[in-house]
């Protein structure tokens, strides 16, 4: 049975900053894929806490604008290729429309993950 997604994911590996709500500890990682509805990031110090809220900051390639958005962790799992890495799926919360449009515009012509 296939997954029902509202947004198409596209492969994109860029730097992303993340900070758990109500903490001051900021970390950085890489994205694995991005959509207008969320992002998958990899972590090495264990999985992110499910249902926790994080503030994310990243810049799309060829863009001068830094995207800052809150996101909720909806799933975590070990990376299929490297068991020391964890994939974390985060769903954007109340993303500004200009950021959503920038992601959709950038994704045109990008490789969509199947």
Domain map of the chain by residue range?
A: 10-107
- Indicate the CATH number for domain 10-107: 2.40.10.220
The answer to whether the CB of 90 falls within 8 A of the CB of 49 is no
- Per-residue tens of pLDDT for the chain, all 114 residues: 345 556 677 788 899 999 999 998 899 999 999 988 999 999 998 999 999 999 999 998 877 778 999 999 999 998 777 778 999 999 999 999 998 888 888 776 555 544
DSSP 3-state assignment of 20? strand
């Amino acid at each position: 049975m296939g997954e029902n997604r509202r947004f198409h994911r596209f492969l994109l590996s860029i730097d992303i900053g993340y900070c758990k709500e109500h903490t001051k500890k900021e970390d950085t990682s890489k994205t694995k894929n991005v959509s207008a509805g969320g992002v998958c990031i990899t972590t090495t110090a264990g999985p992110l806490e499910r249902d926790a809220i994080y503030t994310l900051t990243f810049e799309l390639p060829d863009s001068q604008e830094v995207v800052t958005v809150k996101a909720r962790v909806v799933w975590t799992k070990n990376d299929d290729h490297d068991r020391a890495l964890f994939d974390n799926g985060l769903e954007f919360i109340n993303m500004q429309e200009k950021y959503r449009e920038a992601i959709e515009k950038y994704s045109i012509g990008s490789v969509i993950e199947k």
